[in-house]
Structures are given as structure tokens and as C-alpha cells.
Structure 1
Amino acid sequence: MKKILHKWHFMRIARVVLAAAILVQSWYAKDNTTAVFGVLLLSMGVFDIGCCGAGSCYTPLKKNHTGAHKKSVYEEVV
């Protein structure tokens, strides 16, 4: 419950608003496929899930190796 009520940011609000608009449109158009997409987007916004919602896109930084560097050898192509 704490995750639902706290840490609302722009993307969460945008997902919920867009999902509400999609659900209203699917209601008027009587389109179930669009309603499924709207429910999916609404759940992503309410529960803060998705690729970058919970920081799941984090990639660790590579450490710089200060060891010996290989010298590159170049050949002239004619």
C-alpha cells in the first residue's frame, strides 16, 4: 500500500491520465482490445511498475582498468 500512495512522479501521473483517457475511449467505442491496453497502462501507473519505473534499468558502471594498454598497429591499405 505504501508503494501505491508515495513517490508519485511525472511519469506515473502521465500513465494514469493516459490510461484513463484510453479506458474512456474504449468504453465509448466498445473496443475490448483497447480496454486491455488501458488496464495494463493503468496498472503500470498505479503500482509504479515498468522498465524504468522502479529503477530496474540500472546498469553498473564499468571500472577503468589502469593496467598496460596495448599499442594499436595500423596497416596502410592501398
Structure 2
Amino acid sequence: MDTTSFPEDLITAQHEWYDVDEQLSAAGERERRLRSRLQELSLYIAGHPYWETRATAGVAARIALKRSVRESRGM
């Protein structure tokens, strides 16, 4: 899948999802707030209009987004 076809806001949300996930794994008292933000980002990513088209509706496209963002982060 061509990674340049993802909307910028969707890529940004996936980046932030990884940031919050990393912070959450090291969090103490901030844990509840971080968990809430991670849930908000998960809902945003899952409910993004990009996924409503037939060409992008599959699991493979969602995995491609995650892979693309991970690679851009050097993960």
C-alpha cells in the first residue's frame, strides 16, 4: 500500500497514539489521563472517514498505517 495516500491528520493521530502508549507504559499517577487519551485516539483513528471507502476499509490498510508510522518513527 502506498503510504503517501494516508491523510495527514490520520498519520498525526497514529503518531500521537504511539507517543501516548510509550508514556503510559512509564506512567505513574498520570496513568489514568494517559489511558483516556489513548482511548480517544483509538476512537479517532478507528472512526476516521478515510476507512469508509472500499479501497481502504480492510485490516491490511490499518496495518499499513501502523507500519508506515512505526517506520517513520524508527521503530
The TM tier, using the shorter chain, reads 0.3 to 0.5
TM-score (norm 2): 0.47
Task: Kindly name which structure, 1 or 2, has the bigger radius of gyration based on alpha carbons.
Answer: 1
TM-score (norm 1): 0.45
Hey, which of these two has a bigger chunk of helix by percent? 2
Bigger RCO (CA 8 Å, 6+ sep): 2
